[in-house]
């Protein structure tokens, strides 16, 4: 007779408490803990804290990796490039003037967006129990 070990995925193991995806991403975007919305997520510009200072949620299981940088490029690129094309088409100002505006604009908006977008990515991963954020994950599957 076959026995089912607790590490085996069954219909019941998939029924963990639902986490609000949008609330978690909004809290992360404000650089707050995705679970309580109060504790700070970051201890440095892009370094997440080890734990939430309010509720103690462990932030170390996140695997944001390069996704925040990729998303920043997508967002900023879709704002700056169409604006530059529209201005060039309609006004064609001097190249030095365009570079003097677009380069700092791109740089500053990228820096401003990077931390909130990383926070939203960590909130996304927490809400979907990705990586180590699933406390009911079978122990025989490595977190990475
Ligand atoms: Zn918290």
Q: What are the structural domain ranges in the chain?
A: 21-127
110 burial type by CB count under 10 A (0-12 exposed, 13-18 middle, 19+ buried): middle
Q: How far apart are CA 104 and CA 95, in angstroms?
A: 14
Q: Could you report the per-residue pLDDT of 100-141, keeping only the tens digit for each?
A: 999 999 999 999 999 999 999 999 999 999 988 987 776 666
Q: Could you report the per-residue pLDDT of 10-68, keeping only the tens digit for each?
A: 555 556 789 999 999 999 999 999 999 999 999 999 999 999 999 999 999 999 999 99
Say which residues have a Cβ less than 8 Å from residue 40's Cβ, sequence separation at least 6.
31, 32, 33, 49, 52, 53
What separation in Å is there between the alpha carbon of 43 and the centre of ligand 1?
A: 14
What separation in Å is there between the alpha carbon of 30 and the centre of ligand 1?
A: 13
Q: How far apart are CA 20 and CA 103, in angstroms?
A: 37
Q: How far apart are CA 54 and CA 94, in angstroms?
A: 52
Q: Are 105 and 32 in contact (CB under 8 A)?
A: no
Q: How far apart are CA 41 and CA 31, in angstroms?
A: 5
What separation in Å is there between the alpha carbon of 86 and the centre of ligand 1?
A: 44
Q: Could you report the per-residue pLDDT of 56-99, keeping only the tens digit for each?
A: 999 999 999 999 999 999 999 999 999 999 999 999 999 999 99
């Amino acid at each position: 007779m076959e026995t089912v070990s607790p590490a085996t995925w069954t219909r019941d193991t998939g029924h963990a408490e639902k986490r609000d995806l949008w609330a978690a991403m909004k809290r992360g975007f404000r650089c707050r803990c995705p679970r309580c919305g109060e504790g700070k997520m970051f201890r440095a510009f892009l370094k997440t804290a080890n734990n939430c200072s309010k509720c103690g949620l462990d932030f170390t299981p996140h695997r944001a990796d390069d996704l925040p940088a990729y998303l920043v490029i997508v967002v900023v690129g879709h704002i700056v490039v169409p604006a530059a094309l529209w201005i060039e088409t309609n006004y064609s100002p001097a190249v030095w003037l365009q570079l003097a505006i677009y380069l700092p604009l791109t740089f500053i908006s990228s820096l401003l967006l990077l931390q909130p977008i990383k926070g939203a990515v960590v909130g996304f991963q927490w809400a979907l129990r990705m990586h180590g954020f699933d406390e009911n994950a079978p122990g025989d599957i490595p977190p990475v």
